[in-house]
Amino acid sequence: MEWTDHEAARRAGAGDQGAFRLLVERHSHAIFRLAFRMSGNEQDAEDLVQETFLRAYKQLHRFDGRAAFATWLYRICMNCSLDLIRARKQSMDATPQWLEQVATREPSPERLSQSREIANLLRPALEGLSDTERHAFILRHYEGCPIEQIAEVLGVQAGAAKHSVFRAVQKLRKALQPVWEVETR
Amino acid sequence: MTHPTEEEMVDRYYSDAEAGFEEHLAICQECRALYRAICETLEMAADHPVPARGPDYGSQVWARVSAQLPAKARKNWLLVPALAAGLAVMFAAGMWTEHLRKEVPPLQVTFVHAPAPVLVQPAAKKPRPVRVLTDAEQDKKLLALNSLLEADAKSALPKVLAMVNGKTSDRTKEHALFVLAQSDSPDARAALMNIARDAAKPELQTKAVRMMVVMGEGGPRKEVAVPDRVTVFTLKGAPTAEKKQILNSVFLAANSQVLLDVLKKQPDAGVRAATIRSLAVMGERSNVLTDVYRTDSDDGVRRAVLDVLVVQQNGEALSELARDEPDAQRKKEILSRLATIGYRKIQRPPP
């Protein structure tokens, strides 16, 4: 039977593991994608996916159904990734590997030659964002989430979520300005 | 239209424009330059590839997650009454324990650990009173059921089995198995035997067999052949680690006859080698061990025999094996062990 997320979550909260399985199978890909963007590597992303669903199961009684289940999961994934980043900051470099791969959507030969420079500028810029700004930017820019959903994930008002995205873009623009200026000459 | 703010431009990049936005850019060079700068920035930080996951990725995640899920999620509305009920039951259990301490001899009161609350959650949709049972509470029930088993096994046995098979703690399950193991009721013994044969629940199976081994030999039911029970179990497909656990129990029960029986019938060489070591610690005669060396085809078992003979400093037995060993490599191995213990009196083969 094909339950809605809310119905499956309600059943899972009552102890129906089959219903929870449905939710895991339905949302695993999206959570992995987000986890990868947040953590920067596959292994951490896999750990985050697992931790997200385990936390979700333990907290199912807190899911009140007002938000979409996916939004609720995103929020848990964000919190898990924050824990991971904090732990990693204490032990090692927090640079996501994928930043090394950053390239433009339509890479011209000139752009390709600038990719490393862009990555070098973008890396500290993203690291310099606050957690809220970075999360808001990833959800908006890479996941294409609407502002309302980002606000729910971050637990803030829509205006604050929008402003977080804006602040992130401002900081990135400042960081990438040298490249942009070269291009516009 | 007035000049859009930078924040509005960022918003515009991701969503539909407000009316007049495009028209304004067409006539305002300053805003057009700013908007272009924003677009350039965001395109530089454009999408990057996320490693692909197959269509069965959800199932893979579920396999990992399900192995770690707690028994059951609890609903919010259960927490407060459950906590209150838990406190009430713990208080009652404490009072009851005080009462029982006066009546039960100290040696029988083995359940002294701090009780971990076990929440038994109702499956029905409507809220019902939550029954909270602690380990101590379960133990008190078991004490009562233990007496009842002897007088009226038919009514007591299902309750004990419910504790074995239900959502109780490992400790309670073990105590319930203990009650079955030390009962004189044939029904209880049969039930324990069924659990010991049920490979679908390996943890319970191992506990049951260990309980049978320990209680059967030292307890009141010597007439039941313990070796048969153990070999029935250990000859089947239980994991080696669990077989070794059972053998440890046999070892603790000082039942060398069972170990010898296992040694003869056990197809798992790792278990046979472990049995050899247990037998040696129990002081089994060296001729039993040397017989095993001569008859067992597994090199690991043979080495286990040599090891224990070295530990026993039994140069004579090793010398005897060296003398009879036709394989040059194995003979060399035995001689090197003899050298390890400093034994030089090698027996010459009879002329």
Higher pLDDT, A146 or B46: A146
- Is the model's pTM score more than 0.80? no
- The partner residue sitting opposite A58, judged by closest CB among B47, B48, B70, is B70
Are residues A50 and B64, on separate chains, in Cβ contact within 8 Å?
Answer: yes
> What pLDDT is attached to residue B213?
63
Q: Which of A12-16, A101-105, A126-130, B38-42 has the lowest average pLDDT? A: A101-105
Model confidence at B351, in pLDDT bands (50, 70, 90)? low
Residue with tokens 């970075």: A134
Assess A88–B contact: CB distance below 8 Å, yes or no.
no
Which residue does chain B place closest to A46, by CA atoms?
B61
A171 vs A177: CA distance, rounded Å = 10
> What pLDDT is attached to residue B62?
93
Q: Where are the alpha helices (DSSP H) in chain B?
A: 6-14, 21-27, 29-44, 57-66, 76-101, 135-151, 153-165, 170-181, 186-197, 202-218, 226-234, 240-252, 256-265, 269-281, 286-295, 299-311, 315-324, 328-340
Are residues B58 and A166, on separate chains, in Cβ contact within 8 Å?
Answer: no
Higher pLDDT, B264 or B156: B156
Domain A98-185 CATH class label: mainly alpha
B 98-157 residues with CB < 8 A to A: 121, 123, 125
Q: Is the dihedral of CA B80, B83, B85, B88 positive or negative?
A: negative
Model confidence at B100, in pLDDT bands (50, 70, 90)? very low
Q: Do domains A1-94 and A98-185 have the same CATH topology?
A: no
Higher pLDDT, B63 or A100: B63
Residue with tokens 């009552």: A14
ipTM: 0.77
Q: Using a pLDDT cut of 70, give the percent of chain A over it.
A: 78
Query: According to CATH, what is the number of the domain A1-94?
Result: 1.10.1740.10
Interface with chain A: mutation pick from B38, B41, B43, B47, highest number of A CBs within 10 Å:
B41
Which residue does chain B place closest to A16, by CA atoms?
B72
Assess A72–B contact: CB distance below 8 Å, yes or no.
no
Domain ranges of chain A: 1-94, 98-185
Residue B224 one-letter amino acid: V
**Is the model's pLDDT at B74 over the cut of 50?**
no
Give pLDDT tens digits for B19-52. 778 788 888 888 888 888 888 788 877 656 788 8
Interface with chain A: mutation pick from B44, B62, B83, highest number of A CBs within 10 Å:
B44
- The partner residue sitting opposite A50, judged by closest CB among B15, B61, B125, is B61
Assess A62–B contact: CB distance below 8 Å, yes or no.
yes
Please say whether the beta carbons of A39 and A32 come within 8 A. Answer: no
B90 vs A71: CA distance, rounded Å = 40
Give pLDDT tens digits for B280-292. 766 666 677 888 8
**Is the model's pLDDT at B189 over the cut of 80?**
no
Q: Which of A2-16, A120-134, B214-228 has the lowest average pLDDT? A: B214-228
A 2-61 residues with CB < 8 A to B: 12-15, 17, 20-21, 24-29, 32-33, 36-37, 42, 49-50, 53-54, 57-58, 60-61
B193 vs B204: CA distance, rounded Å = 11
Mean pLDDT of chain B: 70
